[in-house]
A and B are shown apart, each in its own frame.
Chain A
Amino acid sequence: MRLFGAEARAAPRDYNNPFDTNFDMTRLGFPAYYRGVHPRRVFPSITVNGYAVSKIGFGTSSIGPVNDTVINNISNAYTAQSDVTHARAKHVLKTGFEYRTASRQLHITRIRTRTVLYNPLGRASAC
């Protein structure tokens, strides 16, 4: 018995990259006035007051991007493989080849600090 296999896969580009510029944080459920307070339209960097765990999120102490931090983002990955299997009596002979490629966009964050205090009763205040 002889079997041939081949497969190709592509991981599609993620256009909804939250670390890209022009990310609209209201999509996360933040109120619209937050958007006005932030100087750039990127995923917000969130630190939790009194939360002392040193490494969370992207190896930093905040949730979301931190200024001057590289966030790797593999945006395209392709895999192609083929193999042949030959079975005879008590033996199975297999050979195959696989090709994988990836390209990435590297994002380095440049966030100018704006602290937005969350106040569940009123408007956010910028400081």
Chain B
Amino acid sequence: MLTNVGGAISAPDYDQQGLYMQHWNLSVQRQIGAEVVLEVAYAGSKGTHLWQNLQWNQLPDEYLGLKEGLRRVIPNPFYRIIPAAQALGGATTTYGQLLRPFPHFTGVTSIGSTSGSSTYHALEIRAEKRFSRGLHLLASYTAPKQIDDGAPGARIAWMGEEPNFQNNNNRRAERSLNSHLASQRFTVAAGWELPIGRGKALASGLSPLADKFLGGWQINWISAIQTGIPLALTTQVNNTNSYGGGSRPNSVGRSAKLSGPIRARLDRYFDTSAFTQPEPFSFGNVSRTLPDVRGPGQVNVDLSLVKNLVLAERVRLQLRGEAVNAFNHVNFWNPGTSLGGPLYGVISGAGGARVIQLALKLYY
């Protein structure tokens, strides 16, 4: 096989197993009064043969014991066989490179190997007030937990890359909390037509002119409050010399979780001294995502105030004021998680500030 010999190759995994997900749930619903429904549910899920990109050209673990010997520079047996322009086309190479499973490539990646798995359990509580007397309300609370072994290379646009594997030879050790899932999430969506004006509960005796100003108001509320997502630590410098593996810190054996207001610990969000750089030629012992330290929680409330004005039978004017992040809550980003990097433990930004927009619509 000479495709891009001396460089990196990747290809879809030919040996595809059938991916499957199993979901199960149990819920109890109870009606309260005439208009409110309360539901408590358990939901579970198990994923099998999930897609992952795998690096097949990592040094077998036993060779890490050779330590400095891996870095020894020796004559390259592929010299003049591999094109000189390629990374491995030089006159010399390292001992470690020649011990890789495919010594004539820098990386050998399979795309979409069906080797991943996941488990998910969640408590879901939901209360809904059906629309009546101008008000509807839906509130839901979810407490999920997902453990999986990751999907390196996968990307969720606003959350970034999935953390990479540290040791491709020991993928069991990658099992940890899902890197994108908050542990608790509470949402409320509500709409309320104010009961003021002609035909409403209050001030129904308004004159038609006064009703044009005081009647026809509606308030809508959408909010989401959630805890942060687990932090995934790496090290700025990869001293493992594993030729294809990643590097994570060692834990000194205590939780790095700190408490107190986030603003007071923007420069040290978590206890940065709870982790150390592993010895060269060894892997760190923290899990892919930390089980106990999550990023800052997020609070977002969107509000809108709508005024409907009926001008004629078929002509209606609507004035809308909408505010995204209406209370201008500062939603801090996750701190830097690269041990030894300039932003390690430091929160360097925050999500969007309040945005207000006004709109005037004429329906006819």
Distance A11 CA – B12 CA, assembled complex (angstroms): 22
- In the assembled complex, A70 has its CB within 8 A of some CB on chain B: yes
Q: Find B19's partner among A97, A101, A108 (CB 8 Å cutoff).
A: A101
- In the assembled complex, B326 has its CB within 8 A of some CB on chain A: no
Q: Find B112's partner among A93, A99, A101, A104 (CB 8 Å cutoff).
A: A104
Distance A96 CA – B204 CA, assembled complex (angstroms): 49
Q: Restricting to A67-102, which residues have a CB under 8 Å from any CB of B? A: 70, 72, 90-102
Minimal beta-carbon separation of A87 from chain B (angstroms):
9
Q: CB distance B20 to A106 under 8 Å?
A: no
- Cβ-closest chain A residue relative to B29: A92
Q: CB distance B23 to A97 under 8 Å?
A: yes
A72-B112, A108-B11 given; A100·B30 CB < 8 A: no
- In the assembled complex, B26 has its CB within 8 A of some CB on chain A: yes
Minimal beta-carbon separation of A21 from chain B (angstroms):
15
Q: CB distance A70 to B24 under 8 Å?
A: no
Q: CB distance B30 to A91 under 8 Å?
A: yes
- In the assembled complex, B253 has its CB within 8 A of some CB on chain A: no
Distance A101 CA – B20 CA, assembled complex (angstroms): 4
Which residues of the other chain, A, contact B28 by a CB distance below 8 angstroms? 91-94
- In the assembled complex, A103 has its CB within 8 A of some CB on chain B: yes
Q: Find B24's partner among A92, A96, A108 (CB 8 Å cutoff).
A: A96
Q: Tell me what chain B mostly uses at the interface: helix, strand, loop, or mixed.
A: strand
Minimal beta-carbon separation of A98 from chain B (angstroms):
4
**Count of A-B contacts judged by CB separation below 8 Å:** 68
Q: Find B31's partner among A70, A90, A96, A102 (CB 8 Å cutoff).
A: A90
Distance A70 CA – B18 CA, assembled complex (angstroms): 19
- In the assembled complex, B22 has its CB within 8 A of some CB on chain A: yes
Minimal beta-carbon separation of B129 from chain A (angstroms):
15
- In the assembled complex, B27 has its CB within 8 A of some CB on chain A: yes
Q: CB distance B29 to A94 under 8 Å?
A: yes
Distance A18 CA – B53 CA, assembled complex (angstroms): 25
Minimal beta-carbon separation of B126 from chain A (angstroms):
12
- In the assembled complex, B317 has its CB within 8 A of some CB on chain A: no
Which size class do B's interface residues fall under?
20 to 34
Q: Tell me what chain A mostly uses at the interface: helix, strand, loop, or mixed.
A: strand
Q: CB distance B26 to A94 under 8 Å?
A: yes
Minimal beta-carbon separation of A62 from chain B (angstroms):
20
A70-B12, A106-B112 given; A93·B19 CB < 8 A: no
- In the assembled complex, B111 has its CB within 8 A of some CB on chain A: yes
Q: Find B21's partner among A93, A95, A100 (CB 8 Å cutoff).
A: A100
Which residues of the other chain, B, contact A93 by a CB distance below 8 angstroms? 26-29
- Cβ-closest chain B residue relative to A96: B25
Minimal beta-carbon separation of A88 from chain B (angstroms):
11
Q: CB distance A104 to B24 under 8 Å?
A: no
Which residues of the other chain, B, contact A90 by a CB distance below 8 angstroms? 30-32
Known: A93-B27, A96-B25. 15 other contacts (CB 8 A): A70-B111, A90-B30, A90-B32, A91-B28, A91-B30, A94-B29, A95-B27, A99-B21, A100-B20, A102-B20, A103-B18, A103-B19, A106-B16, A108-B11, A108-B111
| Chain B residues at the A interface, C-beta cutoff of 8 Å | 11-13, 16, 18-32, 41, 111-112
29 residue pairs A–B, Cβ–Cβ below 8 Å: A70-B111, A70-B112, A92-B27, A93-B26, A93-B27, A93-B29, A94-B25, A94-B26, A94-B41, A95-B24, A95-B25, A95-B26, A95-B27, A96-B24, A96-B25, A98-B21, A98-B22, A98-B23, A100-B20, A100-B22, A100-B23, A101-B20, A102-B19, A103-B16, A104-B19, A106-B12, A106-B13, A106-B112, A107-B12
